[in-house]
Chains A and B, each alone.
Chain A
């Protein structure tokens, strides 16, 4: 279906694309059209896009080509097609957060990351599917449709940013943005065999990100390479007067350490990240990665113990639902989104709005949060969780006093089959290794780390020090250059 030239274009990176657009060997229109054709050919199988913005993408590509032809394309991502998780507000483009509640929302403004990507010259091809309001680990809890894993269409792509991860793996765009509250970038990156980065909490503005858990949410990139993750982070990071939780720190050159190598690197592999619950195939793959790191000069230290880390999951399932029960109170059926009418009173309309507008997972978390915050339980649940959060942060600080990075698996399993996990808590266990970085506010990245059962991708996770994405990206790039795992399924979807 696709020609070899198209195939070559589809596997391009942001870094290569930027070079080739400037040397004139490809145009933004060619690139954008190739990805739109690819979406057209594959999305009936993968089900990534809630909205495709083909017309505006091609118009923006034409404008980018004019700039490039005049030699005026100073913006680093000029003419490069990307996709956006449907939780990011896009001016004039329907934004649903995967929920019936926002079926008809057309935002009057752009999220800060969206306007920054626009300023950087990137072109959005559309909005990607997700678990409703970013609550889930499989992208099965979208109000619209489940997204498939491009490596095996019967499996889930992970979640909640499953659409953005699958889009990159299925070569429907060069890169994408997702959001990560407890692993929602890293776990789907692991399941789909691509790179996924959660920056330090406060590194990237959350303005225009439809809020789930405000003390944990962070926006970050999905890419094919670590180099591209650095480029995309460069475009979206930095202080924003519209987000008071954004660090007012200068943005470093995130690519500065990409060639650092592994020599003498002090890597902690804390015991609590290598315990029960990990499938054997994942464990074997991760062990092989640790051997590879050691063989290339890194010093792996398995002695650190972080006894509070197993508590990160219960802490998360108090804090995140509590924050979500407050954040989602705004969906009252009055100002925007779905609004039931015809009840006996304002209250009955509001209760019907929230009954029909929210899906089961969202309702369950709102109820759980309301419980944890209610009189008589607040101290035992919410306050205790905040205190244990402090203990977890301290344990990370202790490990980072003597190590450069922490290495861990991203997820305890490879991608599971659609419909396989029905128990809510079993689903929550997917995020057991990713949640600790959110609780501590630290940057963390999942990169392809080999293959487990049935040839499915396994993600390798590195956690870095607060605001030190530069070292994190350098270490991840060093591993990537040595391991060189493929980031796209060899038997491509859409090839039939």
Chain B
């Protein structure tokens, strides 16, 4: 991989991104992803050279806007079937670590 591209993407940036997306990474993963992302970005950078003055963005795959659902009630999924997939439950609650600090 070209070293000039490698230097554009730092270890600190990878760590920051990983914290944003809540993925724990090992030190070796951080270094591997740094190198791979730098390489991928070096191929993507050609995009910047395209003149897009006055070109509107395409936001979705179809040209559909403001599709509305009928304002009608319908049954929800059975609670037990939903809860059956919980990694950890307590009665009908999902069990997780305390979200708020107790102190």
Contacts and interface: CB of A to CB of B under 8 A. Distances in A.
Interface string B26-63: 00010001001101110110111010100111111110
A349 B96 CA distance: 9
Interface residues of A, number: 73
Contact of B64 (A202, A332, A346, A370): A202
Contacts of A53: none
Nearest to B56: A390
A106 B21 contact: no
A339 B37 contact: no
B70 interface: yes
Given A244-B69, A335-B86, A354-B21, A389 B57 contact: yes
Interface centre among B23, B37, B55 (most CB of A within 10 A): B23
A244 B37 contact: no
Interface in A86-119: 104-106, 108-109
B47 A385 contact: yes
B64 A425 contact: no
Interface string A315-342: 1011000000100010011111111010
A424 B44 CA distance: 13
A390 B61 contact: no
Contacts of B13: 371
Given A311-B47, A384-B47, A334 B94 contact: yes
Contacts of B77: 108-109
Contacts of B62: 201-202, 245-247, 441
Contacts of A218: 61
B87 interface: yes
A97 B43 CA distance: 28
Contacts of A374: 17, 20
A372 B51 CA distance: 19
Contacts of A391: 50, 52, 55
B86 to A, nearest CB: 6
Given A311-B46, A333-B87, A336-B85, 9 more contacts: A106-B85, A108-B77, A216-B61, A246-B62, A247-B62, A351-B22, A360-B29, A390-B55, A424-B40
Interface of A: 104-106, 108-109, 201-202, 215-216, 218, 241, 244-248, 308, 311, 313-315, 317-318, 325, 329, 332-339, 341, 343, 345-352, 354-355, 358, 360, 363-364, 366-368, 370-371, 374, 380-381, 383-391, 393, 423-425, 428, 438, 441
Interface of B: 13-14, 17-18, 20-25, 29, 33, 36-37, 39-41, 43-44, 46-48, 50, 52, 55-62, 64, 67, 69-70, 77-78, 81-82, 84-88, 94, 96-99
